[in-house]
């Protein structure tokens, strides 16, 4: 098996999975729309397909970060265990796909792109997203969110359970979160202010599976 590589949005047909344990909290009608549904009881408020590509040397660290690492120290032991089990795993390439996934899934939810979400999510998560989108549409609201940039993305934990690997990634990002009514009038958010997010996304994959895709298993607040 060759190592994972990234296929751009226009070229992929990804099959990802997400488990969302709560979608939206109660609304008074004036709160700002959440950035993304997530596992978070306090409020309600993306990887792209990782296909096989050319085989590079397997490595733990090869990402654009000041420290040169794509993982936090606590994740190193788990990464080494994963690498020992799957010699084709490359953390740098995985993180390239994970960052692309963050953008793709977020933008699909914000724009109400059900078809893209259907390709990116399993049944439960797709239905959760569709429910949130339908509720938004019923209120006559639209999101005009923009991902300003991902400040950092690092692997925080790696767990192996028999033949399944789970990788948790912490994303810190700046997002311009704006809600408009049916006429396009601004009802929440600001064009000049960006919201800082700090979320954990967990991906899973069966080790040794012929399917190269990592599935997005859950999202929660960091």
Quick one: which H or E segment has residue 131?
A: helix 123-138
Per residue in 120-170, pLDDT (tens digit) is 776 777 788 889 999 999 999 999 999 999 999 999 999 999 889 999 999
As a dihedral over the C-alpha atoms of residue 105, residue 106, residue 109, residue 110, rounded to 10 degrees, the angle is: -150
- Single out the residue of 18, 26, 10, 34 nearest to residue 195, CA to CA: 34
Residues composing the chain: 222
Three-class secondary structure of residue 76 per DSSP: helix
pLDDT at 115 over 50: yes
- In this prediction, residue 68 carries a pLDDT of 66
- Single out the residue of 14, 206, 171, 2 nearest to residue 89, CA to CA: 2
> Considering the chain, what is the average pLDDT of its residues?
75
Nearest 5°: the CA angle 46, 52, 55 is 120
Q: Determine the Cα–Cα distance for residues 77 and 48; give it in Å rounded to an integer.
A: 25
Confidence of residue 214 (pLDDT cuts 50, 70, 90): confident
- Single out the residue of 16, 23, 85, 78 nearest to residue 51, CA to CA: 16
Q: Determine the Cα–Cα distance for residues 171 and 215; give it in Å rounded to an integer.
A: 17
Q: Give the predicted TM-score (pTM) of the model.
A: 0.70
Q: What is the mean pLDDT of residues 78-88?
A: 92
Bridging pattern class, strands 142-143 and 146-161: unpaired
pLDDT at 80 over 90: yes
pLDDT at 8 over 70: no
Q: What is the mean pLDDT of residues 162-181?
A: 94
């Amino acid at each position: 098996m060759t190592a994972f590589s990234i296929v751009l949005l226009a070229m992929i047909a990804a099959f990802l999975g997400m488990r969302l344990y709560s979608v939206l909290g109660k609304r008074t009608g004036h709160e700002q729309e959440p950035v993304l549904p997530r596992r978070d009881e306090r409020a309600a408020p993306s990887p792209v397909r990782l296909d096989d590509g050319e085989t590079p040397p397997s490595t733990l660290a090869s990402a654009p970060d000041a420290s040169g690492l794509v993982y936090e120290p606590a994740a190193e032991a788990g990464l080494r265990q994963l690498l020992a089990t799957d010699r084709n795993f490359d953390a740098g390439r995985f993180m390239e796909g994970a960052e692309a996934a963050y953008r793709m899934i977020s933008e699909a939810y914000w724009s109400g792109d059900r078809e893209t979400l259907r390709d990116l999510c399993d049944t439960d998560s797709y239905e959760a997203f569709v429910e949130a989108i339908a509720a938004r549409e019923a209120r006559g609201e639209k999101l005009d969110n923009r991902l300003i940039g991902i400040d950092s993305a690092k692997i925080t934990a790696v767990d192996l359970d028999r033949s399944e690997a789970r990788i948790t990634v912490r994303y810190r990002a700046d997002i311009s979160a704006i809600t408009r009514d049916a006429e396009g009038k601004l009802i929440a958010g600001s064009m000049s202010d960006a919201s800082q997010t700090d979320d954990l996304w967990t991906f899973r994959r069966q080790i040794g599976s012929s399917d190269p895709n990592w599935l997005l298993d859950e999202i929660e607040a960091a």
